Amino acid sequence: MPIDPYAALNAMLRAEVTRFSPPVRQAEPAAPPKTPAEAVESESESEPQQNATADSAA
């Protein structure tokens, strides 16, 4: 069976690209799903805090 020169060239180019390209980033594991009670708690914690120094300066 004859060797396809385009397939051989494509394989060589892919090997070179793989050799010089940076490693693939790994995705961070997904956070476990929250229960409704945990979701309510996290929403109340993420509310912005009032800055006392800004109020006293006005």
pLDDT digits 0-9 by tens, 33-56:
666 666 666 555 555 555 556 555
- The pLDDT tens digits of the residues spanning 10-38 come to 999 999 999 988 888 888 877 776 666 66
Given a cut of 80, is residue 58 above it in pLDDT?
Answer: no
Query: What is the residue whose two structure tokens read 């793989």?
Result: 18
Q: Is the dihedral of CA 31, 33, 38, 41 positive or negative?
A: positive
Residue 29: what pLDDT? Answer: 76
Query: What is the residue whose two structure tokens read 């708690």?
Result: 41
Residue 45: what pLDDT? Answer: 55
